[in-house]
Structure 1
């Protein structure tokens, strides 16, 4: 019996080392998710409001998920060092739940990418039609047009139907050259087209989604399947410790 314990001790030590390393990496992914969630909440809130029909909880989901992963990452390190079978099994169960959640999220994002594009077209068009240069969505439209150097939904003609156009013309955020673009030009339907960006914002945003959704889904699947490695490590370590009645000091 003692000989068997001596033979399995290096295996347990190896599994313990691998699981601690994995838990540390897992903890880092949680910190990244938390940072992205906070960034999305404070920096991308207006942009997200243009994509969703209603106020979205996506940043809060990322913040909550990141915080939970950080806590369980630390728990995984503690469970590994403590050598507690039930803690390791609980950690493995949590990793399996994370795996399923990320797998569903990745598949949903890839499968429903066309619906996301359709929703963006509808909500962005509504934001342009009801633009007033003051509310959150209007400011988000301005930010999109300035940063992407675009104008309107499909092109600058989208603004001709806006409630903002009769009195104010096309918004200044559409100007191709701010030094050569004044309010009187923007109110003139004949002169304005030569002063603003010609490309619509919808095409730029959706081409980005189409180009990068596959990459995003692939990264999500990769991270999801990495949870299986941690789950297997935790289960194997728990089994070895239970079978050999090995306790880590």
Structure 2
């Protein structure tokens, strides 16, 4: 008979196998994303280094958990529990950082500061992306149409049907500002709300992932501590988990 409860051991190994598969998929995704790393860096996206660390960390710790569960070795489970404790703290820190960053960005969009539009308007590729966004999202400018200066692009042109029947994402038309060149009617709505809507979705997903992994790490820590306790109790009772009566 094993040192650890059979159901607990199977459940522990099963979840580690699941996370090992997730780690493999994340490594595969990081490999695929590496082909576009230069393009992503050119538009200000973060480096893929942290994604590699995260993916390999999940894969390595999951493999350690599978080995610890199968071998029922006290040392391996203690190392796994240590990783779970550290991982829980790291995930909580990352989740808090993402939440704070989201609130800062939301405050920037709420105040509609002109500083918010500078990264878009100073980068030619970001300007091109904003120009395409205006056509699909029916908006003009990041903070206001004045982000384009005196030359308003044709993508800001508001069609008459949008002005008469404003709907989702369309707040109607307004006249071209005095002194500016471009279409006579432009979208009243700015693209800042649309951009933040997608950024907010990304931040919420990231917070869910980080806090979800923190809860998972806590459960893994508790289960591994319970398994360590069962091993110590088994070893302390002389190698038998159930005493046999003698007749």
TM-score of the alignment, normalized to the shorter chain, above 0.5: yes
| Whole-angstrom distance in 2 between the partners of 1:102 and 1:138 | 35
CA deviations on 1:137-171 (whole Å, 9 max, x unpaired) are 3444345445544332123332126xxx4xxx52x
1:97 aligns with 2:86: yes
Q: Does 1:74 align with 2:63?
A: yes
Residue 183 of structure 2 corresponds to residue 192 of structure 1:
yes
Structure 2 distance, partners of 1:87, 1:227, is: 16
User: Cα distance, 1:86 vs. partner?
Assistant: 0.9
Bigger mean CA deviation after superposition, 32-41 or 102-111? 32-41
Residue 45 of structure 1 pairs with residue 40 of structure 2: yes
Match of 1:12 among 1, 5, 11: 5
CA RMSD of aligned residues (A): 3.8
Question: In 1, Cα distance between the equivalents of 2:114 and 2:24?
Answer: 34
Q: TM-score, normalised by structure 2?
A: 0.67
CA–CA separation in structure 1 for the residues paired with 2:33 and 2:108? 19
1:10/1:78 CA distance change after superposition, 3 Å: closer
Which of the pair is proportionally richer in helix?
A: 1
Over 3 Å counting, the alpha-carbon distance change for 1:234 and 1:204 in structure 2 is same
Mapped to 2, the partners of 1:79 and 1:12 lie a distance apart of 14
Q: CA deviation at 1:39?
A: 7.1
Aligned equivalents of 1:156, 1:237: Cα separation in 2: 62
Q: 2:119 aligns with which of 127, 130, 142?
A: 127
SS for the counterpart of 2:5 is helix
Larger Rg over CA atoms: 2
CA distance in 1, matches of 2:31, 2:190: 29
Per the alignment, residue 3 of structure 1 pairs with none
The CA deviation at 1:45 is 2.5
Equivalent residue for 1:244?
234
Please state how far the C-alpha of 1:191 moved relative to its aligned partner. 4.5
Per the TM alignment, residue 173 of structure 1 is displaced from its structure 2 partner at its CA by 5.4
Q: Counterpart of 2:143 in 1: which secondary structure?
A: coil
Q: Is the 8 A contact 1:156 1:200 kept in 2?
A: yes
1:21 and 2:21 aligned: no
- SS of 2:195's partner is helix
- CA distance, structure 2, for counterparts of residue 191 and residue 107 of structure 1: 44
User: CA 1:191/1:159 → structure 2, altered by over 3 Å: closer, same or farther?
Assistant: closer
The higher relative CO (CA closer than 8 Å, separation ≥ 6) is in 1
Contact residue 116 and residue 143 of structure 2 kept, 8 A: no
The 2-side partners of 1:144 and 1:37 are apart by 27
CA contact (8 A) 2:156 2:183 kept: no
Instruction: Indicate conservation of the 8 Å contact 2:3/2:234, yes or no.
Output: no
Is the CA contact (8 Å cut-off) linking 1:110 and 1:213 kept in structure 2? yes
